[in-house]
Structure 1
């Protein structure tokens, strides 16, 4: 959830191709998150405006909060309006074709996992650019990837999914720790980003396949 100019260049410059690929994944994740928000709105029988609001909030909410926290204003969605158009487009597609979209649930899960990994590493990258330290950077990464979904759930009157079940935020934390370790080892930033994002995506997809969940207290 960021433009190409936001990625850190600690010891080497980003190759244009690598930044472009990550940017494409970023938009793909934005689309997937927006679709999930729009589907949630449809299931709550919201009108067109409600669908578009939930789609946009889910897709860009985390990145917007991240930018405000680090003092980068205006937030990215106002500096690169592509994200807004992608979110609105996703919402409109769900509004008109929600039955068809829901039948492609597995594809949406894959896209969602890609978005989760991409948003995580971009959030961490922004944190490092603003010199807030590793802990703060990982926090920003997790928030960028999950805050939008939490806002979606609150707006539709439910306990956020990320707080109830599934390996979701924990996958982001694991990817963030990998990112930090690779950065300490002075791995080239672009390689670090792709390895860390791939780790988040892999953990998320394996947890879905194996039906992994975090432990809950016995009541």
Structure 2
């Protein structure tokens, strides 16, 4: 995957995730600074964790101004136009699924480039996809979405695993589209059909 394509996908995913973080902040009645912090955490958290773990320091989020400007600008837009954006709940969920699919792939590719094996790269691809959302939910006082039974992390891991294999075997970059599609279709199907992860027998999902 070319560096330019990787950057474009990264920034697109950051913008989408930042929008979801900003919406959470608006609904928690935070001020502009608080909304911006949640947007930055959501958009950049997973990528920063990945970069630190693979030794790519300083993280791209701190080394390239575009990684900070994109989520900050997204937060401002959501803050001032949230009535319109908030009514697009279904579209936001779809965009979130797209962001997840982009991040799990780019995260896995970056981890593979750092020399990690397929399994480790897959785990870091998963972390890139869900890390920011986990930080957002903790900061906002919510149970992270991946712990609430929704099929979120599983599709991300599947996409990251495919991307790791593709990167490790040096297959054509076009195959990354299939890896992202697996995550995206699985996540959207789970949303549409209400699929959830299993819980312990006898436990009450509440």
The answer to whether the superposition gives a TM-score over 0.5 is: yes
Q: For residue 183 of structure 1, report the CA deviation from its aligned partner.
A: 5.3
Partner of 1:192: 175
Aligned equivalent of 1:210, options 176, 193, 196: 193
72-81 or 143-152, which deviates more: 72-81
Change (3 A) 1:187 1:198: farther
Tell me the residue number matched to 1:32: 16
Corresponding residue number in structure 2 for 1:61:
45
Which blocks of at least 5 consecutive residues in structure 1 are unaligned?
1-6, 8-13
Aligned residues of 2:41 and 2:135 also touching (Cα < 8 A): yes
User: Unmatched 5+ residue regions in structure 2?
Assistant: none
CA RMSD of aligned residues (A): 1.8
Residues 165, 214 of structure 1: 8 Å contact kept: yes
CA shift, 1:189, in A, is: 4.1
Residue number in structure 1 paired with 2:54: 70
CA deviation vs aligned residue, 1:127-150 (integer Å, no higher than 9, x gap): 111112111101100000000000
The 5-angstrom pairing of residues 13-24 of structure 1 reads: 14=2, 19-20=4-5, 23-24=7-8
Residues 183 and 108 of structure 1: CA distance in aligned 2, closer, same or farther (over 3 Å): same
* Alpha-carbon distance, 1:181 to partner: 4.7
Question: What stretches of structure 1 move > 4 A for 4+ residues in a row?
Answer: 180-184
User: Which whole-Å CA distance do the structure 1 matches of 2:185 and 2:25 have between them?
Assistant: 28
Q: 2:74 aligns with which of 71, 90, 99?
A: 90
In the alignment, structure 1 residue 132 sits paired with structure 2 residue 106: no
Contact 1:110/1:205 (<8 A) preserved: yes
Q: Secondary structure at the match of 1:78?
A: helix
Query: C-alpha deviations, 1:32-70, integer Å up to 9, x for none?
Result: 111111111111111111100000000000000110111
* CA deviation string 1:70-114 (max 9, x = no partner): 111110112222121110111111111111111112221222111
Q: Secondary structure at the match of 1:188?
A: coil
- Note closer, same or farther for the CA distance 1:181–1:64 as it changes in structure 2 (3 Å cut): closer
Is this contact kept in 2: 1:28–1:111, CA < 8 A?
no
| Alignment map for 1:45-194 (pairs within 5 Å) | 45-182=29-166, 186=169, 188-194=171-177
